[in-house]
Chains A and B, each alone.
Chain A
């Protein structure tokens, strides 16, 4: 079974530029998550989708971050314009169970963003 796919693995941009990350979850997983992991910290949830609907985006900085999951499968996370403090690893995860369920998350290998 294929795992969670993410691209690109690494991205370096100047501040105020834009960047987009892509995620393809495990087939059949209804719930998709984007986490931000700053060096030395635990992952912080940015947004959670159930199929193509948003369940929680309370910690997404909506003035610069956006995410979509139009067909309920793959997802894109965009940052525009980027700030220095956005330097982090962006982790995508999926789960078979619905929002609030007991299912564990399956993570991709992450997209490391460096903002100069």
Chain B
């Protein structure tokens, strides 16, 4: 069975500092990995995904994520945080090996950027 874990419920960062939101996953085969952001009273918005190839993936709003197969991790990063980055972030995984596999979401990490 596939699963995804976001070990931190909340991450607090000062504006201008680098940020990291952690994600680890478990699948039987190889993964497709995704990050989404959710603003209050809105649906989820896609940020970036890893399919194959380069382990460093760049996405929207200056975010990037690094795929680490040995650590089964896909941490979200940004070199310099903005107050507007404050939101709820979800990591998600899908198992490549199954044509009918589901996209499973983590429990979310609330990112708070202080001015």
Residues of A within 8 A of B (CB): 4, 33, 35, 40-45, 48, 55-56, 91, 93, 98-100, 102, 104-110, 112
Residue among B32, B100, B106 making CB contact with A99, cutoff 8 Å: B100
Are A45 and B90 neighbours in the complex by a CB distance under 8 Å? no
| Contacts A/B (CB < 8 Å), 17 sampled | A4-B43, A33-B103, A41-B108, A42-B105, A43-B105, A44-B105, A48-B102, A99-B99, A99-B101, A100-B96, A100-B98, A100-B99, A102-B96, A104-B34, A104-B46, A105-B34, A110-B43
B32 vs chain A, min Cβ distance (A): 5
Range of interface residues on chain B? 20 to 34
Q: Do A107 and B43 contact each other (CB < 8 Å), given the known contacts A43-B90, A102-B49?
A: yes
Residues of B within 8 A of A (CB): 32, 34, 36, 41-46, 49, 51, 90, 94, 96, 98-108
Number of A-B contacts (CB under 8 A): 61
Q: Could you say which residues of chain A place their CB within 8 Å of the CB of B106?
A: 42
